[in-house]
Structure 1
Amino acid sequence: MNLLSKNKYILIFLVLLLSHYIYPLIIFNEIIINPHDKLEIDTVYSYITSQIYKGNFDSINYFLSGEIKWYYLERLFFPINILNIFLSDKVFFFTEEILQKSLSYFSFYLLAKSLKVPKLESALGGLVYASILDIYSASSFFIYIMPYVLYLLVNKNNLKIKHYIILVLIGLNSSFAQDIFALFLLIPLSYFFTKKNKNFNFNFLIFFTIFISLLLVNLHLIFGTLFSDIATHRDNLIIRGSFSNSILETFKEIFLIVNFKDISYFFILPLGITYLIVLGLSAASKEKKIKNILYFFILVIFLLILGGSTFIELFFIGPLEILNGINFRRINRVIPLFMTILLIYNLLSIKMTSIKILIYTLSIISALSLQLNVPMKETLRTFLKPAAIDELKKVFYDYNFSKVPDILFHSNNYFTEKGNGKYETNKTFDKYYRFDDYKYIKNIVKESRVLSVDLDPMVAVMNNIKVIDGYHNIYPNDYKIKFRKIISRELDKNEELKKYYDNWGNRVYAFYNDKDNLLLDFVAAKKIGADYVISSFAIKNKNLEIICSGCNNSKKLFLYKIF
């Protein structure tokens, strides 16, 4: 009992962190997942990697007409993948996710405690930091354990074997492209917290231990892309804009200003308000440490703006041209750490009780809003009547937010019983990947390739079906050009889609504007390897022959053969 009392804050905030799992288990008897990146790409790449580990080297050819190279698999040599040999894909997914949440929570708590922060604020900081990271959907581990690295940089004058093992594992499970900038910035950040007797030589030892490990595990990707004669789509990415546009995008990123027409905005809004208050308090603070951290944060923001503007390209001449494809805005990986540190320091320095209570409340609301974002939206879709959902969408589209309470708190807008058959969430692991439905499709298409319309093409890959489309962070540029012929007429009708595909193009999807007037070129799809089309709706096209409608008794699954 004494142990529970001593650690009550840790346990309370840990339960709040796990509300992401607890709430949907109570409501749906299942865990709800945000498919963005996690299910759309990360899990599928982990699956293919596990297949390679098990000896199925041909599995990489499931992707993009077989044009994805083995050295494009960024996580190929991550040690965490070894677990996927022994665990099912679903168990591995949740093991990795819970491990990441736990590491981020406890590593920040450890850092805060080492900075003489009381248990309450340390645990609160851990909750906020771990919750913010849900926005970033990082596929590597560095961002989750970054506070622990800072803890070592600040507190350790010598390292034990266990520390070296941990540092090596951190590096071996991290991404060079996503994490290298944050790693560099931790060194100067640590100077604001170190004691007078600190031996800074050990800081560089910590840095190089992670850096060398990070470099080794990413060598295949670095050398494979640098020395290959195959140009990738990243060589032609337009990832930077004007200096003024970069300032605007950075401002929107810091204060989490997203699409106002999406209900998700209201779940992110509390954190944006918290950020604004914390930065305002930091600017007004007389605490030297808070001021110094704020000044350094402003420098980081300037680097973020610079990295997102075309101005930086002036330096990429001659041999440095290879840096053009690097997204320097990955510097943003340190923002959650900066903001959470400023949050707890301001909590300790504020004298006014009312402001303290406000920040405590906002911090907890922010964390809970982020944890419950997807489960709460799925709850609304499950219990709200279709007419109410349509009305809610219209309210957001028209920016008429004052009507939101009238819709949400009107009892006639809700079904009276759960399980009415109106809506069933697809944001669970099994329902997203539709293993039974795609097994039915696999038995028909066998080793042929497919194109997906209004369906995530990576679901097909997860079910061992070869595809010509997908979601990839790196792939041959000539394939991007070939695939564009399939969607060119659709892109011509939609400037936003055209700009996305031509300037970015990680999602190689069968984009369309009107399902009743599809302009997709299925003959072009056949030329790059597709024999079948899987769709969520019926398609009328002279080049398609219906194979099954409502395949496997699924209302929104259609299969066509291209001829």
Structure 2
Amino acid sequence: MCIETKKELKFIIFALLVIAVYLSPLFILQENAHIRVHDNLDSNLAWYKVLARSGEMFGPVNATIPQIINGQLSRNAFGTEYSIIVWLYALFPTMTAYGLSQALTRIVAFFGMYWLLKRHFLPGEKWLFLQIGTALAFALTPFWPSGMLSTMGMPLALWAFLTIRNGKGGWKEYLVLTLLPLYASIVLGFFFFLTAMGFFWLTDGLRGKGWNLRFLAAIIYMTVIFMCVEYRLIFSFLLIDEPNSRDEYYFPILPFWRSVRLTFKNYLLGHTHVMTVHTLFILPATFTAIWIVFRKKLWKQERLFVFLFSLNIVLSIWYAFWFYEGWAPIVERFHFLATFNFARYHFLRPMVIYAGFALALKILSLQGKGWARKAKWYAVLQLLLLGLFNDEIIYQEKPTVKEFYAVEMFREIEEYIALPKEEYRVASIGIHPAIAQYNGFYTLDSYNNFYPLTYKHQFRKIIEKELAKNKKVRKYFDKWGGRCYIFTAQLGKHYMIKKDSKRHLKNLELNTDVFKKMGGRYIFSALPIDNAKKNRLLLVHVFESKSSAWKIYLYKTL
């Protein structure tokens, strides 16, 4: 794709400047920036750090990570060494890597959506403002950071596939299909995208458009590249027979009407891992456009928009009803349905919603000058709204990266214990285990959704009495177990207890004999434990720091 006019170049430069301004807090504030905690600071960022210093970056498929859960966590649980994001965190400080990852993802997302609209969905120079505006809005969506281009790269992949399908594909399109797997995950987006492309190819053939072998070859080609890159995942999923924590994952739990409610919630508000911020401006524009199509009977002229509008609804229904309790007999018979999250077809929604938004604005613009101005205002207002969803704004009440990982304070803890870290194991109460892991401690607890089931059952004995007192937490651990934490009945699913808390842990009942048997010697608690002696724990020191969000009560087993 080339830049054809000076006006187009100016629009692109403006869009890139907006992205640069949007990302500037990450590069200016560095560790003093506020970013997402859930499935980010509490997990992935620590994992990259642990992997980088483990010496197992290129470890064999049967290697383990010594620092986590007594060396029983498979190296494969940390993903492939052929992913660029892994190397960013290995080569650069955490926040430099995070900023570079954000920049790479958003720039590729912008050009991918722009080229898709310009070439295939909304061609014509007259639509330049809508093309650039929609692409920029798509690039500013608050996507899940460690998802990389798993969803944000879909428009670029679709641009390549549609170009190849039309018989005009060349080296650029195949270069895209080759490089995207290096910065995307097949289970976090592209499995669902590629199966959708396969269905697209099949429907082409069944509708008499011919069995497009070039299109099919391109789909197979990208699939093979992904399988090579994700060889660890393929090995773990297909060749390892040892039961793992996902074998107890049980999702068909919602009655019919709660699935219906979840359908509307997902359609109207989206999902935390694929946030689209589409409720306030995109939905009204889309509903107005579909009303115009219906009133003027424009079904044939606007069949692509109608298809995307319908597909968006279907994806929300699919997501919500994947958790419908009626699936239970099928899931119990075909176990692989429980170990792979097929609900994630809704990860296609960001691309579908924003491509549909662009087409909706075109339909509005064709209704006259007044409508055209409204269409542009919809685009502008959506961009302004997304600006307010900048991490530095929406996570102001959360700890900064520096406060979250509290490196200085945990260095003091390390010096106080004065033993080589590999000689003892720790666990945390009231804070995420990722904090201790980031700081190099060997932890019995962790947040991973793929670890030996035998370890989960052994760890459960430590918190067995606490789980018995809290049904919600018991179901959370037993039916999923991705968070292998020291849960307490009192705190429940709260594991960010800040240093200004006045609470105490009361009536705690841990099996510290099992904890010690597993190698546990210290507990990092965010709160004082009133009955520590009853749990055979001794408070040895309290740590606090201006640069930490936490106060740590260091307990040693007796």
1:561 CA drift (Å): 0.9
SS at match of 1:516: coil
**Residue 183 of structure 1, aligned match among 194, 200, 217:** 194
Deviation string, structure 1 residues 99-133 (Cα, Å, up to 9, x no partner): 1122112211221221316332122212222233x
Corresponding residue number in structure 2 for 1:51: 53
What is the rounded CA distance, in whole Å, between the counterparts of 1:5 and 1:192 in structure 2?
39
> Does 2:131 align with 1:122?
yes
1:215 CA drift (Å): 1.6
Corresponding residue number in structure 2 for 1:401: none
Corresponding residue number in structure 2 for 1:398: none
Per the normalisation by structure 2, the TM-score is 0.80
**Residue 307 of structure 2, aligned match among 271, 288, 292:** 292
Which stretches in structure 2 are left out of the alignment for 5+ residues?
Answer: 492-503
Query: Is the 8 Å Cα contact of residues 531 and 562 (structure 1) preserved in structure 2?
Result: yes
SS at match of 1:98: helix
> Does 2:163 align with 1:168?
no
Judging changes above 3 Å, is the alpha-carbon distance between structure 1 residues 46 and 4 closer, same or farther for their aligned structure 2 residues?
Answer: farther
Corresponding residue number in structure 2 for 1:532: 522
1:95 CA drift (Å): 1.8
SS at match of 2:250: coil
Map 1:283-362 to 2 at 5 A: 283-284=290-291, 285=293, 286=298, 287-312=302-327, 314-315=329-330, 320-350=334-364, 351=367, 352-353=371-372, 355-356=374-375, 359-362=378-381
Corresponding residue number in structure 1 for 2:268: 255
Map 1:36-435 to 2 at 5 A: 36-52=38-54, 60-115=65-120, 116=123, 118-132=127-141, 134-156=142-164, 157-179=167-189, 180-186=191-197, 200-240=212-252, 241-256=254-269, 271-284=278-291, 285=293, 286=298, 287-312=302-327, 314-315=329-330, 320-350=334-364, 351=367, 352-353=371-372, 355-356=374-375, 359-371=378-390, 374-377=391-394, 379=396, 381=397, 426-428=399-401, 430-435=402-407
1:213 CA drift (Å): 1.4
1:46 CA drift (Å): 1.8
1:21 CA drift (Å): 3.3
Judging changes above 3 Å, is the alpha-carbon distance between structure 1 residues 345 and 441 closer, same or farther for their aligned structure 2 residues?
Answer: same
What is the rounded CA distance, in whole Å, between the counterparts of 2:240 and 2:342 in structure 1?
23
1:37 CA drift (Å): 1.4
Corresponding residue number in structure 1 for 2:499: none
Query: Is the 8 Å Cα contact of residues 161 and 218 (structure 2) preserved in structure 1?
Result: yes
Which stretches in structure 1 are left out of the alignment for 5+ residues?
Answer: 260-267, 382-424
SS at match of 1:558: strand
Aligned length, in residue pairs: 504
What is the rounded CA distance, in whole Å, between the counterparts of 1:176 and 1:257 in structure 2?
21
What is the rounded CA distance, in whole Å, between the counterparts of 1:54 and 1:66 in structure 2?
12
SS at match of 1:559: strand
Corresponding residue number in structure 1 for 2:501: none
Tell me the C-alpha RMSD between the 2 structures. 3.5
What is the rounded CA distance, in whole Å, between the counterparts of 1:160 and 1:50 in structure 2?
37
Query: Is the 8 Å Cα contact of residues 433 and 446 (structure 2) preserved in structure 1?
Result: yes
Which protein has the bigger helix share? 1
Query: Is the 8 Å Cα contact of residues 57 and 81 (structure 2) preserved in structure 1?
Result: no
What is the rounded CA distance, in whole Å, between the counterparts of 1:78 and 1:361 in structure 2?
35
Query: Is the 8 Å Cα contact of residues 449 and 467 (structure 1) preserved in structure 2?
Result: yes
**Residue 464 of structure 1, aligned match among 440, 444, 449:** 440
Corresponding residue number in structure 2 for 1:418: none
What is the rounded CA distance, in whole Å, between the counterparts of 1:280 and 1:11 in structure 2?
32
Deviation string, structure 1 residues 514-544 (Cα, Å, up to 9, x no partner): 5331524151432332110112233330122
What is the rounded CA distance, in whole Å, between the counterparts of 1:237 and 1:197 in structure 2?
42
Query: Is the 8 Å Cα contact of residues 85 and 183 (structure 2) preserved in structure 1?
Result: yes
What is the rounded CA distance, in whole Å, between the counterparts of 2:26 and 2:236 in structure 1?
43
Instruction: Using the aligned pairs only, state the percent identity.
Output: 20
Per the normalisation by structure 1, the TM-score is 0.79
What is the rounded CA distance, in whole Å, between the counterparts of 2:307 and 2:172 in structure 1?
32
